Amino acid sequence: MWPVEGLPEVRAGDDLAALIAGALAEPLHDRDVVVVAQKIVSKAEGRVVALSTVTPSDRARTMAVESGKDARQLEVVLRETRAIVRWERGVLISETHHGFVCANAGVDRSNAGAPDSVVMLPVDPDASAARLREEIGRRSGCDVAVVVTDTFGRAWREGHVNVAIGMAGLPALLRYMGQHDPQGYELRVTEIALADEIAAAAELVMGKLDRHPVAILRGLEPPASRETAHDYIRPKEKDMFR
């Protein structure tokens, strides 16, 4: 597992696969996993908005008064939000249009690459991952997997961890359903969130401040799969925490 060094600052319209392929210090192998931070995917896709162009709704203005936050930024968050899961003491937990549950619908002001701007999540991070996989595969001649990651908080536990918000070419969930231990008991944990664990692992070498927004994980060689990060979204009727 190692970070890709020397990637340039990513701008709207950039060919991200070409930038990543160009920055690789050594050739990719089949079944390598290329882990890419959401921030640079969003920037390449133009998912950055200057706050000066945003007119806050009444709701955003009310929330700004309640929290002391920027009404224009709250407006962007609300546009990215399908449902508000919690709004307490200035902390907004959103369900995004994708179905992810996270703070501020993933909208972030840091590392936007422009002053007074915010970055939104990609419109379809699985599609972003699939495009990157195809393009990196074409350029490298290798069948790689791609995981697009963001750093989410958790219920009950302090601290953030990197998770998969988009993916292509590997399973979301490794299923052990029906497998038994030596005494014949079915395993309690039946689904391991493989791409989420890969995202968390990659963060260890990517680091914060978005210094290394791409990492390569070699040796795991996950099986090919058509699963996507949508497989992580728990159906509302099964969810006990909304």
Strand partners, 151: 162
Residue 178 binding a second copy, by CB under 8 A: no
Span interacting with a second copy, options 17-25, 46-54, 124-132, 231-239, rule CB under 8 A: 231-239
Helix axes 16-23, 125-140, angle to 10 degrees: 50
- Stretch 138-177: interaction string toward a second copy, x if CB under 8 A: -------------x--xxxxxxxxxx--------xxx-x-
Question: Can residue 88 be called a binding residue for a second copy (CB under 8 A)?
Answer: yes
Contact 171, 222 (CB under 8 A): yes
218 CB-near residues (< 8 Å, 6+ apart): 1, 29, 32, 33
Q: What is the footprint of a second copy within residues 104-133 (CB under 8 A)? A: 104, 108-115
In which element (H, E) is residue 7 found?
none
* Contact between 25 and a second copy per CB under 8 A: no
Residues 6+ apart with CB under 8 A from 12: 43, 44, 45, 46, 48
- Nearer of residues 66 and 191 to a second copy, judged by Cβ: 191
Least Å distance, CB 195 to a second copy, is 9
Q: How far is the CB of 173 from a second copy (least distance, A)?
A: 5
Q: Does 80 bind a second copy (CB under 8 A)?
A: no
Whole-angstrom Cα distance, residue 1 to residue 4? 10
Q: Cβ(81)–Cβ(96) under 8 Å?
A: yes
Q: E strand or H helix at 134, and its extent?
A: helix 125-140
| Sites of contact with a second copy (CB under 8 A) | 1, 86, 88, 91, 93, 100-101, 104, 108-115, 151, 154-163, 172-174, 176, 179-183, 185-189, 191-194, 196-198, 200-201, 203-205, 208-210, 220, 231-234, 239-242
